[in-house]
Amino acid sequence: MKTLPQSNATLLIRTDFSDQEAWETVCATVGTPNEDGFMASSRVVDDRAFQDLTTEQLLRLVPEGSQHRLLALVDVTTIGSPEMPLLVIDHREEPRGEIRVVATEFWSIENNLSLANMDFHEFAGAVDGDGIFRGF
């Protein structure tokens, strides 16, 4: 099995290949600065080797000594929703942290965690009733 690439940026990993246009929309949304010019530092991983893998399977593919803290999965839930809620995983958090983050707000969690301005639990505590972070 292939391992995930080494990267200082958060990996944006495609696991659902059912809709190319939706995937491209997710990538464009994540790669577009918000109205204040903030944008996530992410590296796109578009490889069918990761198709349909679970969180647990992907975490086993993180290389030893990896510099990235977060993984962002573009899965069937992301592709199937107009808000494109990414599954964001903080694999260094104990216990491991996982929340859904709408694609337009991904920059917020990525920027603040990479700069140590905030902790993962602050984002997890700000999710809406359906478990999705849509901003503060």
Structural domains of the chain in order of their starting residue, each with its CATH number: 10-127 (3.40.50.800)
- Look at residue 133 in the predicted model and tell me its pLDDT: 98
Helix ranges (H only) for 31-119 are: 55-59, 76-79, 106-114
Please state, in angstroms and rounded to a whole number, the distance separating the CA atoms of residues 70 and 72: 7
- Look at residue 92 in the predicted model and tell me its pLDDT: 80
Distances in Å between the alpha carbon of 112 and those of 51, 60, 103?
29, 25, 15
The tens place of each residue's pLDDT in the chain, 136 residues long, gives 688 988 888 999 999 999 999 999 999 999 999 999 999 999 999 999 999 999 999 999 988 777 778 999 999 999 999 999 999 999 887 778 999 999 999 999 999 998 889 999 999 999 999 999 999 9
CA terminus-to-terminus distance, the chain? 39
- Sheet holding 42-45: strands in order across? 42-45, 10-14, 70-74, 85-90, 97-102, 132-133
**In the beta sheet, which residues pair with residue 17?**
none
